[in-house]
Amino acid sequence: MKANIMKKFLLALLFVPITVFASGAALHLDRAPDIQGDQPALQNGAKLFVNYCLNCHGLSFVRYNRLTELGLTDQQVRENLMFTADKIGEQMRVAARPAEQKKWFGVMPPDLSLVARARASEHGSGADWLYTYLRSFYRDDQRPTGWNNAIFPNVGMPHILWELQGQQALNHETHKLDLAVPGQLSTTEYDKQVGDLVGFLVWAGEPAAGFRRHLGYVVLGFLVILFGVSYALKKAYWKDIK
């Protein structure tokens, strides 16, 4: 009797993860463009982040002088992108005071240094989530900020890019977003700007990723050459024995 109960208990534990996974609604994410290595696009993403995001969200794991890796000079960084620090070696910290942010939003907006990694899931990459999220805001007068988000319901963040995108409305019958009031950019142009911003956040999560991949190819190439040399030596050493 006890053995049967234990067997049923173990079977129930085995199927719990499947039940939980099946109960979750499928999340459709649009594929974010890959702009890693495209320096002009990444520079534009850095400009968008500094002008629209840095007031509330910091990149505390990134220092301003790392932006020179995107093809910018120290002077360009100081004159165009460095608004929250005095020295170029300082971190890209948020402009607002933490106490003020908590008062305004009820909670401190998160640091975005690793957001592109943290948002990765079975539905897609963190870049895909960010790309879809920043294109899914719509007007909602029931929310304190006047905005809501299709993939992050009841989000506390306002739509900071609404002037560029315009105002979307949620069609409750089709559950799709329709552009109600056009913005400064067309849909294609806005998607391009969001792609650049998301690409910059991906870069900020690991600025050395490009060098790491390049070094990996160099190491693999060296190992292939080493294997060839070792095999030739092996044949040379053993030819007389055979």
Per the CB < 8 A criterion, the answer to whether 112 and 204 are in contact is: yes
pTM: 0.80
CA gap 47, 41 in Å, rounded:
10
Q: Return the exposure string of 100-121: e unless at least 16 CB atoms fall within 10 Å of the residue's CB, then b.
A: ebeeebeebbebbbbbbeebee
The predicted structure's pLDDT at residue 190: 97
For residue 65 the two structure tokens come to: 């002088």
The tens place of each residue's pLDDT in the chain, 242 residues long, gives 545 544 544 444 444 444 433 444 578 899 999 999 999 999 999 999 999 999 889 999 999 999 999 999 999 999 999 988 889 999 998 877 777 777 777 778 889 999 999 999 999 999 999 999 999 999 999 998 899 999 999 998 999 999 999 999 998 888 899 999 999 999 999 999 999 999 999 999 998 887 788 888 899 999 999 998 898 888 888 877 75
User: Looking at residue 25, what is its pLDDT?
Assistant: 59
3-state secondary structure labels for all residues of the chain: CHHHHHHHHHHHHHHHHHHHHHHCCCCCCCCCCCCCCCHHHHHHHHHHHHHHHCCCCCEEEEEHHHHHHHCCCHHHHHHHCCCCCCCCCCEECCCCCHHHHHHHHCCCCCCCCCHHHHCCECCECHHHHHHHHCCCEEECCCCCCCEEECCCCCCCCCCCCHHHHEEEEEECCCCEEEEEEECCCCHHHHHHHHHHHHHHHHHHHCCCHHHHHHHHHHHHHHHHHHHHHHHHHHHHHHCCCC
